[in-house]
Structure 1
Amino acid sequence: MIKLIQGNEVKNHQDIMEQVWRLRHDVFVEEKKWGDLQKPDKREIDQYDNDDVLHMLAFDGDQVVGYQRMLPTTKPYLLSDVYPQLCEGDLPRAPEIWEWTRYAVIKEHRARGRMLSSTANKLLSAIVEWGLETGVSTIIIEMNPLWLLRLVQLHFRVIPLGITHVLADEEVLAVQAHFDERTLIKLQEIRGDKESVLDAKAYRLTKHARSCLE
């Protein structure tokens, strides 16, 4: 199941979040070689890990095996403040648009080639389930352009916001990806079940997301 932790509740989940900070450091610093994120304590935390963020965590038993972070575009976010060169038009800012960042899955839970691992499917499904419940319908992604076809195949409607740029020796493209019930159905078909991926306590956090739409 996918657990949701609101930014202002991180202090109540210190043990779990310690796994998150170290997973992020392992993936983005050790693997991807994003040197600017290097931390002596091997914990990757930045200024966007604030009260407004929503953390989504995938577990295998007590171990965090996958993670992603959602940022509201009505507040400062990565595309607006760190990577504005990736957007050639007006920066997307709306209550129903959130930014998807820091997606990370441990090596043992990744799939090879074009396959979508079970953990990856559940993380994407969590965004769509949460979005359908709260009125969020679009995510902003800064990604390798090779993801474009995969997202379209998963029934996201993807619109590039500019051209590719090279960041940290990798091609990066900013996109808007719209989703609806068809996206969830496709993800469920691939996964082979229609059960919710969100844990029983997750929907109480939709109040926070709904408040951002008002």
Structure 2
Amino acid sequence: MQAVHLEKLSDIQCQPDSQLKFITEAWLQIVECRRVLKWTYAYGYYLPEHEHGKRQFFEYLQGEAESGLERLHQCAEKELQVYLNAEGPSKDFNEFRTKLAGLTSVTRNYFENLVRALENGLSDVDSHGACSRTVSAKSLGGGSSKGRGGRGKGTTSRSSSSSRNIDDSGRWSCEHCTFSNVKSATVCQMCQRRS
């Protein structure tokens, strides 16, 4: 990637190498996340059978991690090809940069929080499946619109007091990073951007 594609991309898009670091960072994040994901399977294997709640929560978190990583990988590989195959500079290259950098950041945060939760033995879930009030799957950054099994967020309604879309559960998704925030939050809890 660094030796061949970035040099070619630099020439096509008329961008200095220093402006293409976001691509290298995305690929390094993909590699790191694949390594973490590999070890989550070992973790899941050793989860006690009688702890159904923890097992279900773990499988949900693992599924969200997989889908988030696939989104990042898709962007870094397939969407990048458009710009590598372009005849000249693309006017929407900066939008691609913002998207890939954002996905990299969100994925990094999710995996860091996932590792922290696993290190704590999923202590926020009791064996019957109840989550504590302080931590849930959403607080790990799992605010994607589709989780494992195709679950959607539900319909959204427009709030008259702001430009946020509040879903059926009373949460709003950040337009920048898609994190699902509580209704009362005025700043995204993941990326710190205003709603």
TM bracket, shorter-chain basis: 0.3 to 0.5
Larger radius of gyration: 2
TM-score (norm 1): 0.31
If each structure's helix is expressed as a fraction of its own residues, which one has the higher value? 2
Relative to total residues, which structure has the larger strand share, 1 or 2? 1
Instruction: Tell me the TM-score normalised to structure 2 length.
Output: 0.33
